[in-house]
A and B are shown apart, each in its own frame.
Chain A
Amino acid sequence: MNAPMLFLPLIPLLPLIGFAVNGLLGSRLPKAVVSTIALVFPLASFGLVAHAAWLVRLGLALPVIEENAPTWIVAGALHFSFALALDQLTLVMLLVITGVGFLIHLYSVGYMSHEDGYWRYFAYLNLFLFFMTVLVLAGNFLLMFVGWEGVGLASYLLIGFYYERKSAGDAGRKAFVVNRIGDFGFLVGMFLLLGQFGTLSFGEIGANLAAHPALEGGVLTAIALCLVVGATGKSAQIPLYIWLPDAMEGPTPVSALIHAATMVTAGVYMIARTHAIFDRSPVALMVVAGIGAATAFFAATVGLVQTDIKRVLAYSTISQLGYMFLGCGVAAYSAAVFHLMTHAFFKALLFLAAGSVIHGLGGEQDLRRMGGLRKQMPVTFWTMTAGVFAIAGFFPFAGFFSKDAILYAAFLQGTAGKAFWFVGLVTALLTSVYMFRLWYLAFFGESRAEDKHHPAHESPWIMLTPLVILALLSVGGGWIGIDRFAGFLAPVVGEGPAAQAGSAQLELGLSVVAVLVAALGWFVADRYYRRSPEKPAAVAASVPLLYSTLVHKYRIDELYDGAIVKPVLMVSRYVLGWVGEGVLVRGSAWVAAGVVSLTGEGLRRWQSGNLRSYAGWLAAGAAMVLLFVLAGILFGAHGVGFSMNWAGR
């Protein structure tokens, strides 16, 4: 097919227009106009993406690479353009970003209706879609980095949306700075790539790697590890995950869109996108798998004891992203992206449902003051139930298919892979426990609200509609099956390991084990949080050290603060500030002052504040300039050698 009309640049540019209009004029427009603008442009973007998907279904050959992309930077031998490219991986990402993105925009119209700065919120949200679509459409690393940092900016702005709250400002700043640590790795990775390949274009690097099959390890490992640093920042993995729980300071729909469904998956996308590099470095893959498994388990344990409904979901997101990393680390990229997609459905759903609960309770986020909402908020309850079953991995919900695909792929990877599989399985148990815990605490039993006079109310339909759609996707989104999904992505990320070895019986057996584990988790939660709600406190009291460690999230924030932040500030303030500036720099200034012995008399004159003395200085200065200009003449007149005759010597 020749030059298909895909209008790729419009996919990011439309939300950018929405951002510009609302950002510049929004404060003067009525809310209805603001929300119309904010909805229309993302919807149009989604329309373009759906249109592209339809063409692909009709047989459009991928990848489509935008020809004649405008040039961005040309300097020396470097050349970077705004090249966009659409392939299967990008298409999946775009469908999720614009699709789920639009639903969350819609939900926000209801959720944010009472807020000041309504226009500002939607402007930022549109800005986010611009950068996120740039991130996945980029045809080279540098343009991807534009999206990469850009979504970080949108995230910063939205986390700090309630900017008068100090905690919100702190959280936004923390998110940006921690992400910058990751971006530092990304940048060094790009420098290494430039040194190795002389280009940052995905296509050219891929072709180059294909042309040199012997190239392995060494610098490729270094590149991959640098990229992993970037990915751990954006996707909130150990050791850079610390910003994500704090990011819950932002409005809940933001948590759903940016900090669950889309932005935080950018690291996973990046690894899948650059898998050709990772495939050449077993070390890097092992690191990715290790980080993923460790993060998945670690975050799930913290999720067990959190009392803020959004924090539970935040740790759950970190944990699920760990699964995706694990998938990438065992080279099951399509399984990882599959989980990315289903997770986008059910985690967006869970966050939005949590938002509905918070909205219905007038801002209450503490699970200990919820309860009994099943009857008061039936739609929220049932949709959230779909999400809980999906994330816990029950057949035939979406999460079952994708999580299984990852665990199965891990199991096939030798001894280390079996260990990863086991960690993943234990994590699945924990996931099931903390999700059903949340479910019981929020929706079952009696209401524990402090304010009994204002019973919870169900949310308006503009919020419930996205919930219902996402619930349907969380139920049915996995039925496409990993085989068809992997087959679709194979031209980009290659065949997964599952396709090479293994058997149907093994896969079925592992699935059964996984579902049994999920059921066990449900059973435990049922025992502890429905039938005998007093038990969890007793269990916690019996292991005080463990419990307090979990509640304080292993005290990692305190550790970083004490081991990194404080020392850096101390060194800056005392070593650089006092010794460097105070003694060395100032000292040298005083020595310089002493040389011309202007310190005494001169200083007092300068400080006299007398205009005449300033005028005197002015005159002196002017005289000096004159002197310089005339210097030659004076020298010349005396003939002290400053003549042309000397030139030859």
Chain B
Amino acid sequence: MGMDGIIVSLILATPLVGAAVILLLPERGKLAAWAALFVSLLTFLLTLHLPAHFVPGQSGFQFEETAPWLANPLIRYHVGVDGLSLWLVVLVGLLAPVGVVASWHSVRERSKVFYALFLVQQTAMVGVFVSLDLMLYYGFWELSLIPMAILIAMYGRNQTEGGGAHAALRFFLYTFISSAPLLVALLWLYARVGSFDYAVLRGAIATGALPAGPLCWVSLAFLVAFAVKVPVLGAHGWLADTFAEAPVAMGMVVAGKLGLYSLIRFHVGLFPVQAREAAPWMIGLAAIGILYGALLALVQKDFWRLLAYGTLSSLSFCTLGIYGFTLTGLDGALLQTVNEGIVGGALFVMLGFLYERYGTSQIGQYGGVARKAPVLATLFVMTGLALAGLPLLNGFVGEFLVLSSTFTGVNKGWAVAATAGVILSAAYVLQLVQKVFLGEQSAMVAGQLSPPVSQQGFPSGARDLRGGEKLVLVALVALMVALGVAPNTWLEAMEPGLKAAASVANPLKTPAASPAMKAGANGMGGKR
């Protein structure tokens, strides 16, 4: 029990302290990278404490810590973990060392700044997941945007028009502007309720004492900030450029989980009535987003952009599951959030390896990489299939739960439309696999072209994965199999954290079950 009372603080503090230490280190060789690796592994081990000591069936928060911070206004350092946030914290912990390994060879200059900011980003993301005081939460939320924007600007690949700076600006504008109303909304709530505490605010809103009109705007401010960060279709304008420019370690964590978590916890969780009104829109956007993203992924010529649209498609499954407000759908959505973190992260890392070796993300220049890098090719195919929802890999379980619950409990039409996404995802994944890895070796892959200017001096060309790279990718792929074969290990702990969101009544929900269905339910249980 000893560590339970401080574990969350330890997880938050370790990367921050590590970042400070790295800044003090001399800029020498791989020193900063080694230090970052050590710190991120330590953090990961600390996050593993959470599932090891988590009590699955228990509702409410565990590992809670609370301490007064400011008396007026009343801001508390209040953190804790429940089924909703548990695996997301572990996921951040897991992806950190992966990010360090992915940056090992590609970040060569100003590495101290890079790794320090990278670690600050870890703290910020964990902070978002564990904060139970909304002002504390907001601080971490904003903090998570800054290192991201700076790293995109400084370490961008400079391959889009305007380069990294342009992409960083766009990212910054989208996320900062959208989260400014969130602050106003928070302050309004505080003015009304007199607390930033999650439970207190939740209770106060549930009483219905707050005026409905402003509350509607407040909830909308929350929704917009989160929807941009996910991103939900329509708010995704920053995604493709950011993917094209962001350093791998940043790109792999920029989308998805922060926004999705916040939607469940702070939009659906705090504003069930308003969330219900938004649900038909969100479901429509999600279902269309699944198809829209996949269709665009199908015609991209740049693999970063392809990944961006694929991610948009795959994240839309999560949104769909959240706004169905069924327990099964929320299970699927949260599982899919974790899945996307792992699968999207692994794809980002692998494409990063290709980019580092060949210096281009133009799919058309590739071909026949499988002959030179069979291990990379195998791992890529498995990860791609996980993205496409092949059973026994993790993507399938999440997608199936979301789609089936949407169909049976929410809306058949949107569910069928979203299900058509499985055809498109297979199409764009396999097309990418074929163009990059299969076929004859292209001139570039065969080494007949001199390496591009930006890559001169790099050890480019014929190399399969290096030891460390192989290790992290095999671990991620093993995790995809584990999550696909035994998803219950994860689902069991998640579910109590989702009950609240599942109690929201959905206006799209199909009315009472048909008589035949009821009869069916009664007649169940017989053996043939």
Contact = CB atoms under 8 A, between A and B. Distances in A.
Interface of A: 63, 65, 71-78, 142, 145-146, 149-150, 153, 156, 160, 163-166, 169-170, 172-173, 176-177, 180-181, 183-184, 187-188, 190-192, 194-199, 202-204, 206-208, 210-212, 215, 219, 568-569, 571-573, 576-577, 580-581, 585-586, 588-589, 592-593, 595-596, 598, 602-603, 606-607, 609, 611, 614, 617-618, 621-622, 624-625, 628-629, 631-633, 635-636, 641-644, 646-647, 649
Interface string B147-181: 00110011000000011011011100110010000
Nearest to B74: A644
Contacts of B392: 146, 150
Given A577-B299, A602-B169, A622 B423 contact: no
Nearest to A120: B374
Contacts of B423: 177, 180-181, 184
Contacts of B295: 568, 571-572, 576
A577 B520 CA distance: 47
A67 to B, nearest CB: 11
B173 A187 contact: no
Contacts of B168: 606
Interface stretch (B6-14, B270-278, B431-439): B431-439
Contact of B371 (A164, A166, A643): A164
A563 to B, nearest CB: 16
A577 B296 contact: yes
Contact of B439 (A145, A164, A181, A607): A164
Interface in B375-430: 385, 390-392, 397, 400-401, 403-405, 407-408, 415-416, 419-420, 422-423, 426-427, 430
Contacts, number: 262
A628 B141 CA distance: 11
Contacts of B70: 632-633, 636
Contact of A585 (B146, B236, B299): B236
Nearest to B327: A76
Most buried by A among B153, B331, B391, B437: B391
A589 B149 CA distance: 16
Interface in B104-125: 110
A636 B146 contact: no
Interface stretch (B24-32, B188-196, B253-261): B188-196
A195 B525 contact: no
Contacts of B517: 195-198
A592 B173 contact: yes
Contacts of A195: 407-408, 517
A206 B527 CA distance: 8
B139 A75 contact: no
A211 B191 CA distance: 61
30 contacts: A72-B485, A74-B492, A76-B405, A76-B495, A78-B404, A146-B391, A165-B439, A173-B427, A173-B431, A183-B422, A187-B403, A195-B407, A198-B517, A207-B525, A212-B523, A219-B516, A569-B299, A576-B292, A576-B295, A577-B296, A577-B299, A588-B237, A592-B174, A621-B146, A624-B146, A628-B138, A632-B72, A633-B70, A643-B73, A644-B194
Contacts of B327: 75-77
B169 A169 contact: no
A163 B528 contact: no
A74 B489 CA distance: 10
Nearest to A603: B169
Nearest to B526: A207
Contact of B390 (A149, A181, A617): A149
Given A571-B295, A576-B296, A635 B73 contact: yes
A74 B519 CA distance: 23
A595 B439 CA distance: 49
B238 interface: yes
Given A76-B502, A163-B437, A568-B298, 13 more contacts: A160-B438, A170-B434, A191-B408, A195-B408, A207-B525, A207-B526, A211-B523, A592-B173, A606-B165, A617-B150, A632-B70, A632-B72, A635-B187
A606 to B, nearest CB: 4
B207 interface: no
A641 B169 CA distance: 35
A602 B139 CA distance: 25
B520 A212 contact: yes
The 3 closest A-B pairs by CB, nearest first: A647-B194, A207-B526, A76-B328
A65 B527 CA distance: 10
B431 A207 contact: no
Contact of A177 (B430, B519, B520): B430
B61 to A, nearest CB: 22
Contacts of B329: 76
B506 interface: no
Contact of B170 (A572, A589, A642): A589
Nearest to A649: B192
Contact of A199 (B75, B135, B524): B524
B449 interface: no
B283 to A, nearest CB: 15
Contacts of B187: 631, 635, 642
A625 B139 contact: yes
Nearest to B378: A23
Chain B interface SS verdict (over half): helix
Contact of A572 (B72, B146, B298, B492): B298
Contacts of A146: 391-392
A77 B328 contact: yes
A206 B517 CA distance: 14
A199 B438 CA distance: 41
A180 B150 CA distance: 42
A614 B143 contact: no
A614 B153 contact: yes
Contacts of B521: 197-198
A611 to B, nearest CB: 8
Contacts of B520: 196-198, 208, 212
B448 interface: no
Contacts of A614: 150, 153-154
Contacts of A198: 517, 520-521, 524
A494 B405 CA distance: 34
Given A212-B516, A614-B154, A598 B173 contact: yes
B285 interface: no
A462 B280 CA distance: 63
B422 A180 contact: yes
Contacts of A636: 70, 72-73
B456 interface: no
B4 interface: no
Given A212-B516, A633-B70, A647 B165 contact: no
Nearest to A571: B295
A78 B401 contact: yes
B524 to A, nearest CB: 5
Contacts of A199: 524
Interface in B509-525: 516-517, 519-521, 523-525
A572 B306 CA distance: 12
Interface string B294-310: 01101100000000000
Instruction: Count chain B CB atoms within 10 A of each CB in A63, A165, A208, A593 and give the residue with the most.
Output: A208
B316 interface: no
Interface in B170-219: 170, 173-174, 177, 183, 187, 190-195
Contact of A606 (B169, B240, B491): B169
A89 B149 CA distance: 61
B404 A194 contact: yes
Nearest to B392: A146
Contacts of B437: 163
Contact of B438 (A164, A177, A609): A164
Nearest to A215: B516
Nearest to B335: A75
Which of B135, B385, B420, B430 has the most C-beta atoms of chain A within 10 angstroms of its own C-beta? B430
Contact of A203 (B143, B174, B426, B528): B528
Contacts of A177: 423, 426-427, 430
Contacts of B18: none
